[in-house]
Structure 1
Amino acid sequence: MVSGSFSGFWASHSPLSPLASEGVVGLSGVATSLPANGSQGRELQQSLNPLRRFLPLIIILFASQFLLAQQLEENIYNSLDQFIENPSEENLEMLQIKEATFETNVTSEEEKLALLILDCNLGYYNNRFGRTQFAIDWYEKAWKLYEENKFTTYDISEFCLKPLGNLYTITGAFTNAESTIKQYIHLAEEAKNPIQRTSGVINLSVVYHNTGNYQTAILILEKELQNKTITKSQKAALENNLATNLFAIGKTDEAQEIIDRAIKNGSLISAKAYKNAAQIAVRENDFQKAENYLFQAERALSQNPDFSARELAKLYQEQAQLYMMQQKDAEANKSLQKSLHTLLPNLEKDQLPEASMLYAENTFLDVLDGLAHQETDLEIALQYFDLSFYVSQLLSRELNSQEAKILHQLDDRVRSEKCIALLFDNYQNSGDDTLMERAFNYAERSKAVVLSEMQLKRSLLSQHLNDTLLQKEQQLIRKQEALINNLVRAQLSEGSKEDINNITFSLNSLHLELKTVAKEIALKYPEEENTTVAIETIQQKLLEDSARMYYFFFGREVLYTFRISNATMELQKKPITAKFSNILLDYIHSFDTSSKINDDIPKYTKTAFSLYQELDLKNHSKVKNLVIIPDGLLNFVSFEALLTEETNTINYSKMPFLVKAQSLAYNTTAGMYANSSRSEEKNKVLGVFPVFYNTKSELKFSVNESESLDRDMNSTLLMREQATKANFLNEAPRYNILHLSTHASGGDFVIPANIQFIDDVMLLHELYSLDLHPELVVLSACETGIGKLQKGEGAMSVARGFQYAGAKNLLFSLWKVNDLSTAQLMDSFYKSFRKNESAFVSNHLSKLKYLQNGDISTIKKSPYYWSSFVYYGGLSEAKTSYNTLIVFVGLTLLVLFIVVMRKKRT
């Protein structure tokens, strides 16, 4: 496949075309009320005997109410029938207004069923008119109505859940798509409906394809192809999706064989088949063949009476990508404009659309990015990119789960890099400092987006503590994370299918509720957007902290470094060469085992100094403190253990570690650093020490650590059997410092990051579900800063879990730590902390004291033992204790007295 600065053919916004039944929702299957049986009739007659003289009036009232109810039901169906006879966007608007009136008056089961059918049709027609997000809203409303009333006579899977799952896929809400599709697969299995089940498998494979789970998609597709009940069209769709996933993992020959067979026997002459064939042709660098396939795809699409404007716009955009690969700029621009005007038919030729004209449709993203890529004028190019960011934000508002939002923001990350590249090149030519500041804002807006959004929500709630709407949102978010945690646990323990389905159903219902609340909040607080912090604010904070900031942005091929002082800002662009990558990886892997550095000290010293040079840290001048905002693999780098000079010594105490030159603090974003503040609350520590006595996991020196904590701090300790998860959850909200001395893991591709208690393991999503606000969390355990690395968002680690739960400052580890050296470091840390009440200062001093400690052997002074713990948070200065102040004042007075007495003598 041809590569370039523009996103490649078959971009992430181009999901497979799923097979789904999205036809007009029929009016069949309407339930009618059954007559009462004989005994019920007699009981009713007896109860009416005392009211016989009022019977005529009662009959009149009952008849009028019955007629009104019947009239309302018929009105709903008649309104729908009239619209279907003449469907148009104008009539659709009128029908939606009527629906709002109907909704306020329905009471009977029949009326609610009629409303459900109307809502499904509104979803269908909004989708036909290209109003994707409105379609999702209507389908979600219909699903909620169905769940509340359990209409057993209505096929909710066919007319609501199938199209809803497909629309979630189209808009990138893959988490919602997966749970919705699995839900109707479950319903199909219960109803013994193999046709619907197969449709679900086809659509589920689309979700897996678009989230990169190609092998999983292939597995379920191949399994379903063995099903003898599938229809001819379903077999064709299964094979199409199988070919696409085989192509994605590089099995081009197998994919080509399937496509050729389908085209030859005429089983899959469709737009999606030709588009797949075009992909393979591109892989073979046969661009002319690919163009012909796409033109055939366009013809096949036009012959489909139900094709949508979105499908045509997407096809034009894919044609444009193909032209751009061949550097046919004029043809590419023409196709992009055709795509844009298909989505915005009222847009004038060559007009830049306004934000108000755009809507939540992900085809816009590729089109606007493509137009930006072709634009030679910097400002117009950035305007196109900003419009793309705007559409992305509209799409993001519809997502609730962290996983969905993290996947969604990956494209924003790539878009930010393109903007930074444009601004950097123009800055190099013009020297205009404002361009550099704009580049910084693009970098900041794509860093830890999901975590920053959660902190913004917490900040808004802190400003409006009595707002029940904001309180409800937080409760729903925590409930969602708890349910996801239950789902992960059920899957890991191979729980029953019924339990997993029940959790999935609950998540779907919760999603709808959370989405409704989020929209209400957006209307109530429209000004609350996740904006970047002003560079002047950062510089003022750096001035107060006597610090300099190194802000890294790890691109695909380039590392950008923003060096910011209290008065200046510099931007450096460094190609990510094989040499740099090897040095970085060698340094990170130096800490894989306790013996690796000691086995080859010269290799380590060379690597540590080389990385220091590669990152150009020598330009930090003589500032007192350094603030590191890492990115990408730099999240796993302990900067303190880098060497500032070449050295031949093998004595660690004499090595020129960076920690000896400056005090270092880290943070996730510049905004989090700028907003950090110091609490004046009296410190109360909760210490958790499972110890794991008499097991292979025993942490015997953890007891020493607990004794140090108990001696130096106002603390409550949960020791051994008391260190249960339940006790921690119950006690943690009462303390402003949490110290956990235990085992932890960064997880793997199956098990998420986790931390252990004496009786249970706490997985990452359970951490997310907590509502904690400690000033400091000390994670005295292995790999608490390690986890699956999500580009832009960072490591999905235990530390991030505590950040998400509300922790302000953290001290955590980057590799498997040694029990004894950790206890020694923590002893020094808390002795310092008791005096200065600054975690930032105490962390720095504990490392220096460790290196200076004559009782520790040279081998144990390897950076492996002391540099694992990194501090993320504010740079609080050391407090001067009352006793120290008295001594200082006393000495000052004594010196003044001596000076005065000497003057008198002379």
Structure 2
Amino acid sequence: MEHFLLQLRKNFSESDSNFVAMKNYSKNIFTSFLLIISFVITAQKLPSNKDKIYFEVDRFVANPNPSNLLKLEKFDRDITTVIRKSNDKNELLALVILNCNKGYYETLFNTTSKAISSYEKAWQTYQKNQLKNYDIIEFCLIPLGNLYAIVGDFDNAENTIKQYYYIATETKNQQQQYAAVLNLSNVYQNTGRINEAIDLLEKTIKSQKLTNLQKGNLYNNLGSNYFLHTTPNKMIPNAFENAEKAYLKAVLLLVQDNTQSEALANTYRNLSKLKLEKNETELALQYFEKAKSEFRKTSKKNSRTKAQFNFDEAIILFKKENFEEATTLIKEIFLLLIPSYSNEITLLPSEKSLYAETLLLDAIDLQAAIYKAQNKPQKAIESYKLSFFIEDIFQSSLLSENSKIINQIRNRNRTEKCIAIYEDLYKKDKNTAHLENAFLLSEQTKSAVLKQGLIQSKKQSRIEKQILTQLQNENIIILKEQQKGELASINKINEAISKQNELMLQLKQIDIKTPSKSIQNINLNDLYNKLKEDNAVLIQYFSGVEKMYSFTIMDKKIYLNSFRNNSYNSAKIIQFLDFFNDANSIANSPKEYNQRSTIAYQLLSLPKSKSHKNLIVIPDGLLNFLPFEALITKASATTNFAKMNYFLNDFNVGYQNSAHFYMSSKESKKQPEQTVLGMFPIFENTTYALNFSKEELQSIREKFKGNYFENTNATFENFKKNANKYSILHLSTHASSGDIQTPASIRFYDQEILYTELYNLNIHPELVVLSACETGIGKLFKSEGAMSIARGFQFAGAQNLLFSLWKVNDYTTSIFMDLFYTNIKKNQSYLEANANAKRDYLKSATVSNAKKSPYYWSAFVYYGSVEKEKISPNYIYYSTGLLMLISLFLIYIRTRK
């Protein structure tokens, strides 16, 4: 239940926003008193804009309710129009205070998106006008950072927290530094950077002079991060023990302060979850009762915190299979979080009443799980559809690519549960509609962020594109500075973060006017027809937590296969992939390669039909790095690599990000004469030298006209200037897949370019060939794929790409590329040219048996369109001539008769 762990505790901790209202209220009462005295004395002066603002804030705080909040929001819009161009810093500061108070109460009344907008407006006004004499960190930035995290906008959350940590460090405000560490660890936790969170928390606990209360809260967070290490796919030794120790230390510290009932209640709740995960239900209940006891002591019990306790109790009841009581608590959650909720009979809320709220999302998902346990699959599907709707709301509010990808995790888990339900339904009634629904759900998760980004880029205004480019530039500054480690400039990073915040706020204001729409499902009949036209079979994988599913579409039918995604089956895939870690693994153990490869082939349920020429693979998870062509369909004892039974012999294998990408891929409009833009840095007389790149250059230049930049001329600037002038872009250079911290990159002669720097190129070539190492490898996200150089070019507009899956050999790559371009010259489609180049390579008499190992020829995979086989102009000419001769001959025969 990863999505349960995505909730971020709304931790205003030492920066309790109640102080915002109280402090401002006291200040404003005094202001109002002076204002009244002023009226009495002078009876002439009209109230200033500043006084009007304070008066309205005071009036609202005296009686805060949703109706009065709407009036305050209207006043804010009106007064903002009046003082928009004001230079009066007192008026502007009053506007900041108004929006901070408004944001606080909007949070209390569960209108999170409005609260974020209010805090953003306050921060923008404060920053833009360089205002002072107000604790902007306490009353604006801390709650804003927490709200960003709650809605899954983790990039903005991280930037905001880092910014106020920097300000707090400059002003030596230890309390706000501590709040930043606590909240930043929450962001790391929710973005999967658990080790970073643990490292940050442990260092802070050891190095800082902290109160018992502060240490207690830090230990509670530390326990939550250790707890995440207990999930099956991340099981780390002693994770449960470390989590429990940290929670118990937190209890010992927090129990000493009787004002910290809420923090203590949260720790007991976490202990309850820990015990529940270990199936120690009775202990879980005991800790939960302690949590409830502490919660009753707290003075502030807003609807969200009440709903959170209901949800935690409902989870325990669900585990005990007490479904009716759990459902009762879920209904109470709906009543607390949805003002218009009245579906007491149907239970589930209406779609129009839903909004972006993680707790609401979790409650609906839990109800779906209850329905499934009660053997009500259709009701479970109905519930999950509401959850998908909420996820769409979340996604539409996010601007950062990284945040959107992270939020896809929840959708994937939910999708897997739905596919499992559809699979069970199909087994019962054999209704193919269940398979179609399951496939369409799987399809929705495939490269969804890339897909949406490409659609939006076509609609973006010039200003939006400028801001996005600036945002990207600032992010690159941060990444490149961080790579310097201890030599990194904190000031430079903070300046870039500050600029990013400013740009993001500008972009959000534009984005409000142009809301994005979710991507519609593909039409299955259109897909069936296109596959028939392309003489192709399509297989799409979905790698879930429990199972790996594969959907095979062939002859207008969908087939579903699955296997357990456990360590036993995963090992079969990993053992095959391990052969490609270095050049010698396969050559030294050809028989073992034969066996391991056959096992992987059998596990993946690949089609065996000989009646289709092409196969489109849509991989997922680790399968993104698997060369399907190199799988062995039938084991043999031969050590002759050319004679092995490769899957390459059965199909021309191509790849795609999704069925949507396959459907939208168009047959490239080849120019009368194809031309190449070649980038060949070669790096002569350096440690980066690519000696055989010269031969690759010469081979391509003999076949295709174009512009070929060598050595010092192979710069990024020359590439950008010329990229839109040629049909094929060929880059023969060095590239790196990066790692968890370092993004993937590609090297031009003058500089190394990160994959995200390619996003804004706006290119539309027929083909991009990345003749370099690991150009298809990068940080991997299930469904979305690898954050690789290839992705950078896809985002830039390239539809057809040939790229590598591991470190390629300079010599054999030059041979392969010669064969590939020879096939293109023969007017073969790119898919066929790639497949035939591999077959030709295996047949070549000039290549030794050792170099015919799959390591050397299967690295390059083709993502793109499946073009119909081209008929050469000469063939058409000769065929027409032959037909004319036959016709004349028949006429002659008839005349003779």
Q: What is the TM-score normalised by the length of structure 1? A: 0.90
Residue in structure 2 matching 1:501, options 494, 501, 523: 494
Where do 1:403-802 residues align within 5 Å? Answer: 403-458=402-457, 460-461=458-459, 470-493=461-484, 494-522=487-515, 528-680=517-669, 682=671, 683-802=674-793
Q: What corresponds to 1:166 in structure 2?
A: 146
CA distance in 2, matches of 1:640, 1:905: 58
Please say if residues 422 and 434 of structure 2, whose CA atoms lie closer than 8 Å, have aligned partners that are also in contact.
Answer: yes
CA distance in 2, matches of 1:583, 1:664: 21
- Which digits, 9 at most, give the CA deviation of each residue in 1:693-740, with x for residues without a partner? 122332111111111221111211110111122222232233332111
Give 1:545's aligned amino acid.
Answer: D
CA distance in 2, matches of 1:415, 1:297: 29
Please say if residues 558 and 575 of structure 1, whose CA atoms lie closer than 8 Å, have aligned partners that are also in contact.
Answer: yes
**2:357 is the alignment partner of 1:361:** yes
**2:296 is the alignment partner of 1:316:** no
Deviates more, 1:415-424 or 1:616-625: 616-625
Please say if residues 804 and 861 of structure 2, whose CA atoms lie closer than 8 Å, have aligned partners that are also in contact.
Answer: yes
Give 2:479's aligned amino acid.
Answer: V
Displacement after TM superposition at 1:416 (Å):
0.6
Q: What corresponds to 1:52 in structure 2?
A: none
Deviates more, 1:73-82 or 1:835-844: 835-844
Give 2:304's aligned amino acid.
Answer: R
Q: What corresponds to 2:835 in structure 1?
A: 844
Cα 1:217/1:612, change in 2 over 3 Å: closer
- Listed as ranges, the gaps of 5+ residues in structure 1 are 1-6, 33-63, 462-468
CA distance in 1, matches of 2:845, 2:889: 39
Where do 1:96-107 residues align within 5 Å? Answer: 96-106=73-83, 107=86
Cα 1:649/1:240, change in 2 over 3 Å: closer
- Which digits, 9 at most, give the CA deviation of each residue in 1:112-154, with x for residues without a partner? 2211111111100000112112111111111111122111222
Cα 1:143/1:14, change in 2 over 3 Å: closer
CA distance in 1, matches of 2:53, 2:576: 69
Give 1:94's aligned amino acid.
Answer: K
SS at match of 1:857: coil
Deviates more, 1:823-832 or 1:328-337: 328-337
Displacement after TM superposition at 1:220 (Å):
2.7
**2:322 is the alignment partner of 1:328:** yes
Cα 1:170/1:622, change in 2 over 3 Å: same
SS at match of 2:548: strand
- Which digits, 9 at most, give the CA deviation of each residue in 1:346-396, with x for residues without a partner? 423243211111111111111000001111333321121111111111122
Q: What corresponds to 2:825 in structure 1?
A: 834
Please say if residues 13 and 366 of structure 1, whose CA atoms lie closer than 8 Å, have aligned partners that are also in contact.
Answer: no
Displacement after TM superposition at 1:205 (Å):
1.8
**2:861 is the alignment partner of 1:870:** yes
Displacement after TM superposition at 1:453 (Å):
0.8
Please say if residues 479 and 769 of structure 1, whose CA atoms lie closer than 8 Å, have aligned partners that are also in contact.
Answer: no
SS at match of 1:648: coil
SS at match of 2:806: coil
CA distance in 2, matches of 1:8, 1:799: 29
Displacement after TM superposition at 1:535 (Å):
1.0
- Which digits, 9 at most, give the CA deviation of each residue in 1:500-555, with x for residues without a partner? 00111111112212222222111xxx7x4212211112111112111111111111
Deviates more, 1:853-862 or 1:12-21: 12-21
Q: What corresponds to 2:155 in structure 1?
A: 175
Cα 1:877/1:346, change in 2 over 3 Å: closer
Cα 1:904/1:766, change in 2 over 3 Å: same
Q: CA RMSD in A?
A: 2.5
Deviates more, 1:603-612 or 1:493-502: 603-612
Displacement after TM superposition at 1:892 (Å):
4.2
Displacement after TM superposition at 1:13 (Å):
2.5
Deviates more, 1:288-297 or 1:506-515: 288-297
- Which digits, 9 at most, give the CA deviation of each residue in 1:43-97, with x for residues without a partner? xxxxxxxxxxxxxxxxxxxxx9x956x4322111111111100000010011101
CA distance in 2, matches of 1:8, 1:223: 27
Displacement after TM superposition at 1:903 (Å):
8.2
CA distance in 1, matches of 2:10, 2:272: 14
SS at match of 2:461: helix
Cα 1:679/1:763, change in 2 over 3 Å: same
SS at match of 1:397: helix
**2:138 is the alignment partner of 1:143:** no
CA distance in 1, matches of 2:2, 2:428: 29
Where do 1:74-93 residues align within 5 Å? Answer: 74-93=51-70
Please say if residues 169 and 177 of structure 2, whose CA atoms lie closer than 8 Å, have aligned partners that are also in contact.
Answer: yes
- Listed as ranges, the gaps of 5+ residues in structure 2 are 31-41, 230-238
Deviates more, 1:394-403 or 1:241-250: 241-250
CA distance in 2, matches of 1:117, 1:835: 71
**2:823 is the alignment partner of 1:824:** no
Q: What corresponds to 1:42 in structure 2?
A: none
SS at match of 2:679: strand
Displacement after TM superposition at 1:900 (Å):
6.8
Q: What corresponds to 2:177 in structure 1?
A: 197
Cα 1:239/1:550, change in 2 over 3 Å: closer
- Which digits, 9 at most, give the CA deviation of each residue in 1:863-895, with x for residues without a partner? 111111111010012433333432333344455
- Which digits, 9 at most, give the CA deviation of each residue in 1:174-224, with x for residues without a partner? 221111011111111222222222221222122222223333223333333
Displacement after TM superposition at 1:800 (Å):
1.1
CA distance in 1, matches of 2:706, 2:682: 17
Displacement after TM superposition at 1:427 (Å):
1.3
Please say if residues 195 and 231 of structure 1, whose CA atoms lie closer than 8 Å, have aligned partners that are also in contact.
Answer: no
- The sequence identity of aligned pairs, in percent, is 36
Cα 1:227/1:698, change in 2 over 3 Å: closer
Cα 1:317/1:620, change in 2 over 3 Å: farther
**2:233 is the alignment partner of 1:237:** no
SS at match of 2:556: coil
CA distance in 1, matches of 2:553, 2:797: 27
Q: What corresponds to 1:115 in structure 2?
A: 95
CA distance in 1, matches of 2:609, 2:657: 20
CA distance in 1, matches of 2:421, 2:381: 9
CA distance in 2, matches of 1:672, 1:8: 29
Q: What corresponds to 1:814 in structure 2?
A: 805
Where do 1:245-394 residues align within 5 Å? Answer: 245-249=225-229, 250=239, 251-252=242-243, 254-262=245-253, 265-266=256-257, 268-269=260-261, 270-282=264-276, 285-348=279-342, 349-350=344-345, 351-375=347-371, 376-394=375-393
- Which digits, 9 at most, give the CA deviation of each residue in 1:426-460, with x for residues without a partner? 111111111111111110111111111112213x4
CA distance in 2, matches of 1:237, 1:500: 28
CA distance in 1, matches of 2:641, 2:158: 53
Please say if residues 482 and 769 of structure 1, whose CA atoms lie closer than 8 Å, have aligned partners that are also in contact.
Answer: no
Cα 1:902/1:614, change in 2 over 3 Å: farther
Q: What corresponds to 2:233 in structure 1?
A: none
CA distance in 1, matches of 2:822, 2:296: 76
Cα 1:29/1:774, change in 2 over 3 Å: farther
- Which digits, 9 at most, give the CA deviation of each residue in 1:817-863, with x for residues without a partner? 11111111111111221231621221122112112212222221111
CA distance in 2, matches of 1:194, 1:318: 33
CA distance in 2, matches of 1:533, 1:562: 15
Give 1:495's aligned amino acid.
Answer: A
Deviates more, 1:533-542 or 1:722-731: 722-731
Q: Which runs of 4+ in 1 moved over 6 A?
A: 898-906
Give 1:386's aligned amino acid.
Answer: K
